[in-house]
């Protein structure tokens, strides 16, 4: 089949592409590369007016005229590429804002996609109308919006998520749902809000290319290395404040046993290379399931603090703290879990092996690609 994947978050579409190509399909990714992370794409859309004086001018024009220069630039780029965006057997949007433009421009671009391609599918990956409204209405015990509810940051800082509750994004959501064949969730954080949605096609676990992510047995002869990689724009949304507080407690008592690597805003390739030497990776707090960074770390045999809630344990029939460590929004709890691992280093070895096995069995990119193909073909028939 000829397949177009629009947008890229956390390398999901790249891993899916690798699985689909392994199975003999022709796959193209178009997107912006997810800002500073710079994930590879086949057709690159350049996000202009993102810094310096040009960004200032963009903000002034938007405030006065409600015209977004970045969106107009993306629209112009896509218009130039239209011959390359037609005639696909399957098109998949990474989420409801796959082109990263404002709603009226996004709708215009999607009108072309819907008109010129047979079967368009939507992923629930990243914030969207359904998941954000579910969180706002207390569907989760906690979510990425919890720091906002607790007043840790302003509405502006959480606009990337809250915008999906606005009327323009609700209208865009409704338009997309009318025109897609169905929607697929990438993990339990998106699966749970979609359970009552009519076009929901189910959860397909994130595809991880375990052929390129080699497992390295943990060496415990020296200090235990803890890696804490931060995206500064989502410091509170990821719960990095809890990790920092827990690490401060840990340093007071175990400075002779640990080494802490703390980084900020690294591009994907550099991020991967830095955490390679870590034993423990601190990923995120406000999640029920693992995202891509956590799964890639687990595939390499890291012990990851991430989403591993009771719903995830039950879904995969796993015992607590055997594959990943559930990172709760509580610095003392995180500290206690870190202390347990540092004082019982043999447990690190066991969890490391279990994590690799879990990703191989549940997130293999080729099996995941087969799952996508089955879902697409069934929904399109």
Among 282, 281, 295, 277, smallest CA distance to 361 is for 295
Report the pLDDT value the prediction gives residue 272, as an integer from 0 to 100: 76
The residues of the chain that CATH labels 3.40.50.2000 are 2-207+364-380, 224-362
Report the pLDDT value the prediction gives residue 334, as an integer from 0 to 100: 98
What does the DSSP assignment read for 111-168?
Answer: HHHHHH-S-EEEEE-SS-HHHHHHHHTT-SSS-TTHHHHTTSS-TGGGHHHHGGGSHH
pTM: 0.91
Residues 6+ apart with CB under 8 A from 290: 187, 206, 283, 298, 304, 306, 307, 308, 312, 324
What superfamily would CATH give domain 2-207+364-380?
Answer: Glycogen Phosphorylase B; (3.40.50.2000)
Report the pLDDT value the prediction gives residue 37, as an integer from 0 to 100: 62
b/e per residue 347-361 (b: at least 16 CB within 10 A):
ebbebbebbbebbee
Residue 213 φ/ψ region, left for φ over 0, alpha for ψ in the -120 to 50 degree band, beta for the rest:
beta
- 291-308 pLDDT tens trace: 988 999 999 999 999 999
Report the pLDDT value the prediction gives residue 111, as an integer from 0 to 100: 98
pLDDT in tens, the chain (381 residues): 999 999 998 889 999 999 999 999 999 999 986 665 678 899 999 888 777 888 888 888 888 888 889 899 999 999 999 999 999 999 999 999 999 999 999 999 999 999 999 899 999 998 999 999 999 999 999 999 999 999 998 998 999 999 999 999 999 999 999 999 999 999 999 999 999 999 999 999 999 999 999 898 999 888 999 999 998 888 999 999 999 999 999 999 999 999 999 999 888 778 877 888 899 999 999 999 999 889 999 999 999 999 999 999 999 999 999 999 999 999 999 999 999 999 999 999 999 999 999 999 999 999 999 999 999 999 987
Instruction: List the 120-124 sheet strands across, edge first.
Output: 43-44, 26-31, 2-6, 90-93, 120-124, 182-185, 200-203
Q: What CATH topology corresponds to 224-362?
A: Rossmann fold (3.40.50)
């Amino acid at each position: 089949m000829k397949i177009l994947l629009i947008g890229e978050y956390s390398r999901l579409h790249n891993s899916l592409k690798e699985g689909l190509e392994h199975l003999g399909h022709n796959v193209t990714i178009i997107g912006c590369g997810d800002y500073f992370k710079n994930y590879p794409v086949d057709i690159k859309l350049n996000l202009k007016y993102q810094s310096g004086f040009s960004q200032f001018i963009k903000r002034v024009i938007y405030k006065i005229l409600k015209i977004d220069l970045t969106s107009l630039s993306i629209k112009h780029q896509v218009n130039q590429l239209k011959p390359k965006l037609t005639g696909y057997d399957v098109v998949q949007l990474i989420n409801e804002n796959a082109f990263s433009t404002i709603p009226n421009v996004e709708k215009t671009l999607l009108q072309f996609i819907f008109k010129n391609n047979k079967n368009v599918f939507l992923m629930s990956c990243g914030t969207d109308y359904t998941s954000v409204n579910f969180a706002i209405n207390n569907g989760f015990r906690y979510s990425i919006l919890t720091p906002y509810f607790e007043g840790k940051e302003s509405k502006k800082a959480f606009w990337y998520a809250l915008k999906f509750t606005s009327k323009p994004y609700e209208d865009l959501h409704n338009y997309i749902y009318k025109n897609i064949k169905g929607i697929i969730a990438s993990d339990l954080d998106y699966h749970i809000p979609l359970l009552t949605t009519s076009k929901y096609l189910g959860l397909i676990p994130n595809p991880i290319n375990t052929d390129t992510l080699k497992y390295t047995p943990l060496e415990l002869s020296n200090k235990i290395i803890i890696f804490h990689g931060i995206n500064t724009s989502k410091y509170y949304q990821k719960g990095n404040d809890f990790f920092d507080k827990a690490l401060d407690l840990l340093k007071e008592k175990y400075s002779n046993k640990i080494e802490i690597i703390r980084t900020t805003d690294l591009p994907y390739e550099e991020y991967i290379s830095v955490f390679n030497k870590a034993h423990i990776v601190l990923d995120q707090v406000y999640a029920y399931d693992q995202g891509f960074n956590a799964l890639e770390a687990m595939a390499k045999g890291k012990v990851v603090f991430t989403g591993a809630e009771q719903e995830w344990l039950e879904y995969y029939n796993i015992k607590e703290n055997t594959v990943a460590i559930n990172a709760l929004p509580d610095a003392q709890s995180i500290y206690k879990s870190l202390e347990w691992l540092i004082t019982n280093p043999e447990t690190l070895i066991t969890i490391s092996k279990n994590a690799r096995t879990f990703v191989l069995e549940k997130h293999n990119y080729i099996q995941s690609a087969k799952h996508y193909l089955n879902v697409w073909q069934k929904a399109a028939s």
